[in-house]
Amino acid sequence: MNQKPSLLIIGNSNVGKTSITRLLMPNPRKFKGKIGKTPGSTLLIKSITQENLPYNIVDLPGFGYVSQSSRRRAEHIKKQMVIHIEKHHTDYFFGLVVINILRIEDELEKYFIQNKKTIPLSFELVNFLKEFQIPLLIIINKIDKVSNLDKIKNIKLFVESAKEYGISIVHLNKRELNNKEEIPYLDFSALKKTNLEKLKKIIQQLLNQIKR
């Protein structure tokens, strides 16, 4: 039996989950996960394991809604995800919630600014995972696609909006250790490997904690 703890990588389609998984693999060539041309390429819930990696990686589709996929399909994916977490949450030592920096404005516009009654999907996901006490890191991916000014603007919008839902988000560098109420985020680029070393370091720290 495989006794390794698991790392959860979750987020909507096309945000870069499989790309990040690949960056964490000691031997990416042996990893057959498809980096999608077509959104929704990660559908099966499968644990990825490699001999030299001290943990397993589970790459999960989030609450998502992709224009190409039907609404029913999106609902189905969401249900599968919820069932999986409810059943397996104790396997996870850490969860990465991946979002695409280019989608922040859109999502908040649609769910928060125009319709105050709905909760933006990323925040719904964070709140859902928080209930299971899985330590979380929000990865704001694809920062190579925006200017530094737009990066700062979008992150600020994200952090400010999260407050309205009682979610306190701070940069990983600024987080006080052991503050379980604050959720750290990391600006990231899977393409340029921006902050990859920081990500690896925090994963290692959490692994060390559970071993004690």
**Closer CB to Mg ion, residue 30 or residue 117?**
30
Q: Which amino acid is at 135?
A: P
Q: How far is the CB of 84 from ligand GTP (least distance, A)?
A: 15
**189 sits near ligand GTP (criterion: CB under 6 A):** yes
**152 sits near ligand GTP (criterion: CB under 6 A):** no
Binding residue (CB under 6 A) for ligand GTP from 5, 19, 127, 153 = 19
**42 sits near Mg ion (criterion: CB under 5 A):** yes
CA-to-CA distance for 149 and 133, rounded, in angstroms?
A: 34
Strands 56-61 and 6-11: parallel
CA-to-CA distance for 76 and 68, rounded, in angstroms?
A: 15
Binding residue (CB under 6 A) for ligand GTP from 27, 28, 35, 133 = 35
CA-to-CA distance for 8 and 48, rounded, in angstroms?
A: 11
**95 sits near ligand GTP (criterion: CB under 6 A):** no
Give me the residues paired with residue 140 across strands.
99, 187
Residues 138 and 169 sit within 8 Å (Cβ to Cβ): yes
**80 sits near ligand GTP (criterion: CB under 6 A):** no
Which residues are at the interface with ligand GTP (CB under 6 A)? 11, 13-19, 35-36, 39-42, 61, 141-142, 144-145, 189-191
